[in-house]
Amino acid sequence: MRVSVANDAYIPRRERATVTLELLKSERVEATVNTVLAPNQVAEARKLADEVATRLQSGELQPTASAIEPFADSIL
């Protein structure tokens, strides 16, 4: 799993503001959703990653964009 500022080649690095939550499997992106987080919300991004990881590991969440989207749409 990765929570990071989206890498968009069309937007200069200093202007990038979209934070994404990505689920990875063997370095391959399985699902991506945009979050409501700002790039400076590092603690919140860590909480988001921890919460989603915990729920994925327990089987409560499926590794799909639709399953993780509600978490990406909130600040924990």
Number of other CB atoms surrounding residue 9 within 10 Å = 6
Using 50, 70 and 90 to split pLDDT, how confident is the model at 75? Answer: confident
**More confident: 67 or 75:** 67
Work out the percent of the chain whose per-residue pLDDT is above 90.
Answer: 75
pLDDT at 42: 95
Q: Among 64, 62, 54, which residue's Cα sits nearest to residue 21?
A: 64
More confident residue, 70 or 7: 70
Residue range 18-32, pLDDT digits in tens: 999 999 998 899 999
Specify burial of residue 58 (Cβ count, 10 A radius: 0-12, 13-18, 19+).
Answer: exposed
Tell me how far CA of residue 1 lies from CA of 10, 15, 24, 50, in angstroms: 24, 24, 5, 10
pTM, two decimals, is: 0.87
